[in-house]
Chains A and B, each alone.
Chain A
Amino acid sequence: MTQRIFVPRDASAVSVGAERVCRTIENEARNRGLEVEIVRNGSRGLYWLEPLIEVEIDGQRIAYGPVAPEDVPGLFEAGWLRGGAHALFHGPSEEIPYLKRQTRLTFARMGVTDPLSLEDYRAHGGLKGLERALDMKAEDIVDAVDTGGLRGRGGAGFPTGIKWRTVMNADGGQKYIVCNADEGDSGTFSDRMLMEGDPFCLIEGMIIAGLAVGADTGYIYLRSEYPDAWDVLEDAIVTATREGILGANVLGSGRRFELNLFKGAGAYVCGEETSLLESIEGKRGLVRAKPPLPALEGLFGRPTVVNNVITLASVPWILAHGGEAYKAHGSGRSRGTLPFQLAGNLKRPGLVEVAFGMTLRELLYDFGGGSASGRPIRAVQVGGPLGAYLPESRFDLPLDYEAFAAVGATVGHGGIVAFDDSVDMAKMARYAMEFCAIESCGKCTPCRIGSVRGVELLDSMLAARPQRSNDDTLLRDLCQTMLEGSLCAMGGMTPYPVLSALDHYPEDFGLSPKQEEAST
C-alpha cells in the first residue's frame, strides 16, 4: 500500500510554507523512486509547529514540524517514512501533550481528515447527527440543543435552544438559517479553521437547524478576508448537493435544504447580526434597532436563526451523542467546550478546545508556553477587540461566561491575545477607540461620535503624559455614555478594553499618582 503523508492545506499552514513543502516532498519522493500519497488535511491547530507534516506508519501518524522546504531531503535521509529520529520529530501526533490534553468535540475531525472527502467525513462520525435529527420531531431537536446547554459561540453567549424555539414557534411560511461567518475579531481564527478543515460539519449543523425550526434555505455570510475558506465551502456545497445531502431531498427524507454562500465586503460591523442581515439584503450594513428580534423578523422580514459558525458546528455532535453528553462538560452555566484560540505574543499559539472552566493561566502557560519573546506577559485581551484587557492578577479566573461578566470582561468568541511588558496600554486604548471610529456603522451617535472623541482625548493624554498630569474623568464619562447609549456591541463594548486598561495600567496613561491610588 502506498504510504500516506499529510500536509495541511489550512491557510495559516500555507502562509508559513506548507504549499512549498508539499511540492518539495513530491519531488523528493519522485527522485528517490518512492511512492507516497499526499493527503491535504486541515490543521491540527498546533500552529507553532506548522507546517506540521505527518507520516502514516501502520495506521499511526507521526508528526514532524515545523518543516521548511530545505528540511525535506534531510527528513528522507533520516528515514522519516519509518518514523526515523530527526530534530523535527515529535512522535505520534495524538500523543503530543498540547493535543492530548484537549477535549475535541466540535474539532474532533480537525486535521485528521481530508476536509473535502465526504467518505472521510462519514468514516469519522459525520452525518450521524443529521441522520438522527431526520428521525426526530422538531421539538425534540430543539430540546436536545437546549439540554446540551449550547450558547452562542460568536460572543454573546445567548442560549441557542431558546433562539431556535422562538423561530420554530414563529408563524409558518419562509424561514431562514443564517450562519455568521464574519469572524472579524482579532485573535480569533476558529471559524476559519473549521470552514477550511471540516466544512461538512458546518453544512450538517445548518441542515439540522433548518429541520428544527422549519427553514429550507440557509446563507453563510463569509468575510472576504477568507478566500481559502470560500473555495473549500464552495467545493463542499457542490459535493453535498451532488450526494443528496443538500437540495430537494435531504438524505432521501423528502425534506429540502438549500445553502447559499454570501461574500461580505470588509465591514467589521457586519458581524453584528442585524447589520449582517442588512448586508445580505444588499444594503449598507446599518445596525437595526431591536425589537423586532431577527428570530421573528429577520432576513427579508422573515423569522431567522442567526448563529455563529462554531455554534452551528457544535450541533452535529450534540445530536449524535445527546444533549446530556455535551452538558457533562463545562462549568456553571457554561456547558460544553469552547475552541479557545491562543494568539499574540505566545511561544505556542494555536487552537485549544477544552471544556469551560479552565483558567487563563493554564491556557497561557501550560498550553501557550508563556510569551514568545521570553519577557513577562503583562496584559491579555480576551474576546476580541471589544474584550477587556486582563492583568496577571486576573489570570486565575476560570473561563466561564458568568465569571468573566462578573469582572466586566467577556469570553466572547474565545480569542486570547497575549502582550509582553513592552506593550503601551494607553496606545492599546487609543487603538480600541480608533478601531471603533473606523468600523462604526454610523447609525447611533454614542458610537459614531464617541469613538472619534475618544481618539482625540487619548491623543491629548498621550501627548501630556510625560508630565503625569492627566485626568481621566472625561474619558470615563465618555465610556459610560457609549456603554449605555449605543445601539449594539460595537459602541457598547469598545469601552471594555479602554476602561480595563485605565483600571489596571493607570501608570501608562500619565495619570497623577493620587488618581492611581484611587483606582487601584
Chain B
Amino acid sequence: MSNTNQADLLPALHRLQEKFGYIPDHAIADLAKAHNMAQAEVVGVIGFYHDFRRTPPGRQRLRICRAESCQAMGADALAMHASTQLGVEFGATTADGEVTLEAAYCLGNCACSPAVMLDDDLHGRVSVERLDAILAEGRGV
C-alpha cells in the first residue's frame, strides 16, 4: 500500500516528542525521507496538531481546561490565577524553564470540574489553593 509509509508519521512524531519534548528541526529531513514525504508536508503535519511543538517545552506541562463545563465551575478565575502566579501567558514557558502553561479544551473530567493536568496527572475540583499546592508539589517543594 502506497500510503503505509506516511501512515507511520504521527506515531513517529509522538515517539520523537516523548524523547526530546519537541520535534527538533534537524529531524525534519530524516522524517521526510523515512516517510516518503516532502519536508514541507512533514512541517505541515507538525503545525496542524496542537500537541506537536518545535521548541523545547518547560520541565513540566500544566494544562488548564478552558472548556464549557470547567467554565461553569470557575475555570476562568483559575486560569487567570495560574497566569499571574507563573507570570506567563498561555502557550508560554516560565523564565526559569520550569512550567509551560497551556489551555486544554476538555480533559474528560467534566464531572469533577474544574480540571487541570500536570504532565499526565489529571486533577479535578481544583480550587486556586489546590492549584498552588499541585504546582508546589510538582516543583518538589
The residue from B8, B49, B109, B110 contacting A344, defined by CB atoms under 8 A apart: B110
Looking at chain B, what size class is its interface with the partner chain?
A: 35 or more
Q: Which residues of A contact B51 (CB under 8 A)?
A: 224, 264-266
Query: Is there an interface contact between B110 and A284, defined as CB atoms closer than 8 Å?
Result: no
Q: A189-B110, A284-B48 are in contact. List 4 more A-B contacts (CB 8 A).
A: A12-B124, A188-B110, A282-B7, A435-B105
Q: Which residues of B contact A184 (CB under 8 A)?
A: 105-106
Mark interface residues in B60-75 (1 if CB within 8 Å of A CB, else 0).
Answer: 0000010111111100
Q: A186-B106, A225-B104 are known contacts. Are A349 and B111 too (CB-CB below 8 A)?
A: yes
A to B CB contacts below 8 Å, 14 in the list: A15-B115, A45-B111, A47-B111, A184-B105, A186-B106, A187-B69, A225-B107, A262-B11, A263-B11, A282-B3, A282-B9, A343-B72, A349-B110, A417-B72
* Interface hits, B29-65 → A, CB 8 Å: 35, 37, 44-45, 48-52, 65
Q: Which residues of B contact A400 (CB under 8 A)?
A: none
A138 beta carbon closer than 8 Å to chain B: no
* Interface hits, A222-242 → B, CB 8 Å: 224-228
Query: Is there an interface contact between A285 and B72, defined as CB atoms closer than 8 Å?
Result: no
B17 (CB) vs chain A CBs: closest residue: A265
Query: Is there an interface contact between B72 and A11, defined as CB atoms closer than 8 Å?
Result: no
B120 beta carbon closer than 8 Å to chain A: yes
The residue from A45, A267, A341, A428 contacting B110, defined by CB atoms under 8 A apart: A341
* Interface hits, B1-42 → A, CB 8 Å: 1, 3, 5-11, 13-14, 35, 37
Query: Is there an interface contact between A284 and B73, defined as CB atoms closer than 8 Å?
Result: no
Mark interface residues in A257-271 (1 if CB within 8 Å of B CB, else 0).
Answer: 000001111111000
B112 beta carbon closer than 8 Å to chain A: yes
The residue from B69, B112, B120, B125 contacting A186, defined by CB atoms under 8 A apart: B69
A450 beta carbon closer than 8 Å to chain B: no
Complex alpha-carbon distance, A300 and B1, angstroms? 8
Query: Is there an interface contact between B73 and A344, defined as CB atoms closer than 8 Å?
Result: yes
Complex alpha-carbon distance, A258 and B48, angstroms? 29
Complex alpha-carbon distance, A11 and B107, angstroms? 10
Q: Which residues of B contact A62 (CB under 8 A)?
A: none
Which B residues lie at the A interface, using CB under 8 A? 1, 3, 5-11, 13-14, 35, 37, 44-45, 48-52, 65, 67-73, 104-113, 115, 117, 120, 122-125
Looking at chain A, what size class is its interface with the partner chain?
A: 35 or more
The residue from A280, A282, A341, A428 contacting B68, defined by CB atoms under 8 A apart: A428
Query: Is there an interface contact between B72 and A183, defined as CB atoms closer than 8 Å?
Result: no
Q: Which residues of B contact A45 (CB under 8 A)?
A: 111
Query: Is there an interface contact between A283 and B113, defined as CB atoms closer than 8 Å?
Result: no
Interface of chain A, helix or strand or loop or mixed? Answer: mixed
Q: Which residues of B contact A11 (CB under 8 A)?
A: 108-109, 122
Q: A184-B105, A265-B50, A349-B111 are known contacts. Are A16 and B67 too (CB-CB below 8 A)?
A: no
Q: A225-B106, A266-B49, A349-B110 are known contacts. Are A343 and B6 too (CB-CB below 8 A)?
A: no
Q: Which residues of B contact A344 (CB under 8 A)?
A: 68-69, 72-73, 110, 113
Most B CB atoms within 10 A — which of A14, A192, A281, A343?
A343
Q: Which residues of A contact B65 (CB under 8 A)?
A: 186
Query: Is there an interface contact between A282 and B109, defined as CB atoms closer than 8 Å?
Result: no
B123 (CB) vs chain A CBs: closest residue: A15
The residue from B3, B10, B67, B109 contacting A12, defined by CB atoms under 8 A apart: B109
The residue from B1, B10, B44, B111 contacting A343, defined by CB atoms under 8 A apart: B111
A311 beta carbon closer than 8 Å to chain B: no
